[in-house]
Structure 1
């Protein structure tokens, strides 16, 4: 379902942070190939907040109305609800663009991927990141040479992060939340996309507070046969959200810092940003607009660069494996 100017009709289920960011990316680009066809969230306050910021976005009465108005449905609700909405959209002949993880139950996620085929994708923005494109270019140019190791480190002053306070009920719960699902999954996707399949897993995860999500992880695994060391911590750092993805080889090292900034290790032993490096606040809208281009191609049945359901499931398998160590 498209308008007369052929913009893709995208329906959105979920008026939280991710839904709002995607709407911002659409409205921030006058030539966007996508329009918001409908928005729904079970929380009236969330809908009102989006309505105040984007008054032209059509708000509808339920999820079924979103599906009816759309060619593609973006599922940006809490994880436990993802598969129900995704299945309803697919049953109506729509494509699906879903937040990760696909589900909170791995068996259900496997069954869904087997039945859904290529009719959807998952929102891992590193698939469209300018910083990641720089890393790929440097790898192709030989900046790393023969790979030796990958190190992933994430740290947070507190969890959930301040801007996620409204979603703390599920973001800090064992069933759906935690920084491993919410943040580490992105960096594991990046490892898989750039280096190869993820396998072998050892380490430990710490749940010091009953009923709440993890507070630290220390894990080793492989990506395409390359050793990976993964650490995550809540507390002990001043930053709300600090992360590095560092790839080392015999010829040098490169990294992605704080979600977006591509850096190379110099002769002085310091990492220096690339000439076109952008902080996350500037890089995120670019990546989201590129994600939307991929959504258009996916819905048209054309080749695209988005994370497939199968890729997302492979990441989820590792994430849930970490949380059961």
Structure 2
């Protein structure tokens, strides 16, 4: 399957880093509206570039258009690609408004095309390990889930100097305007909905907690830099999801079930450390020792080991190429999954109705102040 990238900014280098993991994909070319950025990307990666978007869209060799543009451009670019008869893989969210995202899914369906959405961490080795552990029944039925997408106070860091492999600047100002929820909630939501099914209701709150984020940010309109949502799934599971740019970095997932718990350390790690704790099972030695130390000192220690024992991964035949910490996600995996599904005549996992549901939930979290609470999603899958 030949693919073409639209947008060669910061995230595009993550996709190029992980392209080597999927020999069934071939890059036909790239395009960006910024000629300087396009030239730098083309030179660094030694890849073909299209003179304009129309040339990319009329190329008969291209099967999937990968939309890596800014979120406010997602709707227009995706719609044009679908109209040109191309399957589309779109970065999150599908659109900035639910009605636009809904229209894109309907457009793809009417044309017999697939529209899939990032992020690809819902297809990670860690996700598969967790799904198998839950499916085995060893900790019983899940009841409560805590998910966090806290990026830390990046606005206090030297973000203006951050560059991708090919030299693209990290779009800090734009991320502050779009908001951490639309940028990051999908990483947790892709796990939650694929493990527990559609969300029946969502009660959310969002706010701008730090309106001033340093030099150069004084005159931009800030999107919420904090959001929290309590999600009730049709399956009966209840989850709490937080997104933020202020609290210490935390991208964990904790699942509390009838007979134990399961903890994923980092949803941005393709093979994250995963611990499982079974009720009644002997506690690991370190945990027992720390409990004794606390009892002796009569105070809580500042650090505690993750409950339970570490789950082993199957041996990996070939080592994967992944971006450096902290974005250790196989970004191309979602596109490879889409291409394989198209070849089999099947529906890709994170496409269509499921993609729409994830986008609607992220929008509902981000725009909580403008919506009645609890919010009942219009989409399902």
> Please, what TM-score do these two structures have when normalized by structure 1?
0.85
CA gap of 1:107–1:305, structure 2 versus 1, over 3 A, is closer
- Deviation (angstroms), 1:324: 2.6
Which of 36, 45, 56 aligns to 1:45? It is: 36
2:232 aligned with 1:232, yes or no? no
List alignment gaps of at least 5 residues for structure 2.
164-168, 212-219, 278-282, 288-305, 315-319, 369-381
Q: Residues 122 and 307 of structure 1 are in contact (CA less than 8 Å); yes or no, is this contact kept in structure 2?
A: yes
2:107 aligned with 1:115, yes or no? yes
Alignment-derived partner of residue 13 in structure 2: 20
Q: Residues 119 and 331 of structure 2 are in contact (CA less than 8 Å); yes or no, is this contact kept in structure 1?
A: no
- For residue 58 of structure 2, give the secondary structure of its aligned residue in structure 1: helix
Could you list the per-position Cα deviations for residues 188-247 of structure 1 after superposition, in whole angstroms to 9, with x for gaps in the alignment? 12111110111322242111327212222232111332111122332242x4xx311111
CA distance in 2, matches of 1:286, 1:215: 23
Question: Cα RMSD over matched residues?
Answer: 2.7
Could you list the per-position Cα deviations for residues 67-102 of structure 1 after superposition, in whole angstroms to 9, with x for gaps in the alignment? 223121111101111122212222222111111111
CA gap of 1:159–1:211, structure 2 versus 1, over 3 A, is farther
2:362 aligned with 1:319, yes or no? yes
Q: Residues 297 and 304 of structure 1 are in contact (CA less than 8 Å); yes or no, is this contact kept in structure 2?
A: no
Alignment-derived partner of residue 5 in structure 1: none
CA distance in 2, matches of 1:296, 1:232: 31
Alignment of structure 1 residues 26-105 onto 2, 5 Å: 26=19, 28-29=20-21, 32-55=23-46, 57-69=47-59, 70-105=62-97
2:250 aligned with 1:250, yes or no? no
> Please, what TM-score do these two structures have when normalized by structure 2?
0.73
Alignment-derived partner of residue 106 in structure 1: 98
CA distance in 2, matches of 1:211, 1:154: 22
- For residue 16 of structure 1, give the secondary structure of its aligned residue in structure 2: coil
Q: Residues 266 and 273 of structure 2 are in contact (CA less than 8 Å); yes or no, is this contact kept in structure 1?
A: no
Q: Residues 90 and 116 of structure 1 are in contact (CA less than 8 Å); yes or no, is this contact kept in structure 2?
A: yes
Q: Report the structure, 1 or 2, having the larger strand content.
A: 1
Alignment-derived partner of residue 198 in structure 2: 197
Q: List structure 1 runs of 4+ shifted beyond 6 angstroms.
A: 277-280, 282-286
Q: Residues 127 and 306 of structure 1 are in contact (CA less than 8 Å); yes or no, is this contact kept in structure 2?
A: no
Which of 264, 276, 296 aligns to 2:313? It is: 276
2:228 aligned with 1:218, yes or no? yes
Which structure has the greater CA radius of gyration? 2
- Deviation (angstroms), 1:282: 8.5
CA distance in 2, matches of 1:299, 1:128: 17
CA distance in 1, matches of 2:8, 2:58: 18
List alignment gaps of at least 5 residues for structure 1.
1-7
User: What is the aligned residue count?
Assistant: 309
Alignment-derived partner of residue 178 in structure 1: 179
